[in-house]
Structure 1
Amino acid sequence: MDTSKELKIRCWIDIDGKKFFGPGRAQLLMMIEKNGSLSKAAKEMRMSYRKAWAMVEDMNQRGQQPYVELHKGGTQGGGAELTETGKKVLATFKKMNDKITETVQQHTDEMLGMI
């Protein structure tokens, strides 16, 4: 009988035992950077605006520096942009995840062959 085997790994950062940053928040930052808007980023991720806003607030409050700067609406509409800290955190997280993925891929066949 053939079985399907898959090696999965996810990396996230905890602060005081509570999830702080991982793939979902990284994706939210990428979408904010792409769209220049929190509401558009949330919509593209099929996430409620309220949840996206709560995630941004959590990152801004618990991180060493804010990750996202939100601009209030008005006649020209609001917007959102990553701060320099947000850009650095996102780039470093992406680089780290790429290296982790590369390492896992190098050992996947061997590992799954033993299971």
Structure 2
Amino acid sequence: MELHKELRLRCWIDIDGERFFGPGRAQLLTHIDQEGSISKAAKAMGMSYKKAWSMVDDMNQKGQKPYVILHKGGNKGGGAELTEAGKTVLQTFNELMGKLNETLRDGEEKFLQLV
């Protein structure tokens, strides 16, 4: 019987020993950027609005600059958008993950043959 082997990599940024930014938050920022709404982003990810809001608030508080700005409701309703800092962090994280995954793929076959 052939076993399915997979080498996986996850990358997070910790601040004071607590996870601050990683794949989940990057995905949340991506959805906010696409949807223009924390609520719609949360729904797209299958998470509660409360959890999504908590993640955004944490990023805005602990990041060097806020990552997401909110627009108050009104006739057109409210919304959310990424700040330049949020866009830069997201882009840089995605580029880093691309490079790390490329490096992983380069050595994966050789390593998995040993396991």
TM-score bracket relative to the smaller structure? over 0.9
Deviations 1:11-65 (A, max 9, x none): 1100000000000000000000001111111111111100000000000001110
Name stretches of at least 5 consecutive residues in structure 1 with no aligned partner.
none
| Residue in structure 1 matched with residue 82 of structure 2 by the alignment | 82
Q: Which amino acid letter does the alignment assign opposite residue 29 of structure 1? A: L
Structure 2 Cα separation of the partners of residues 44 and 73 of structure 1? 21
Identity of aligned residues (%): 62
Q: CA shift at 1:75, angstroms?
A: 2.3
| Residue in structure 1 matched with residue 46 of structure 2 by the alignment | 46
Structure 2 Cα separation of the partners of residues 9 and 100 of structure 1? 8
Structure 1 Cα separation of the partners of residues 47 and 77 of structure 2? 20
Count of residues in correspondence between the two structures: 115
Q: Which amino acid letter does the alignment assign opposite residue 46 of structure 1? A: G
RMSD over equivalenced CA pairs, Å: 0.8
The TM-score, its normalising length taken from structure 1, stands at 0.97
Q: Which amino acid letter does the alignment assign opposite residue 55 of structure 2? A: M
Structure 2 Cα separation of the partners of residues 2 and 88 of structure 1? 43
Structure 2 Cα separation of the partners of residues 72 and 54 of structure 1? 18
Structure 2 Cα separation of the partners of residues 14 and 49 of structure 1? 23
Name stretches of at least 5 consecutive residues in structure 2 with no aligned partner.
none
The TM-score, its normalising length taken from structure 2, stands at 0.97
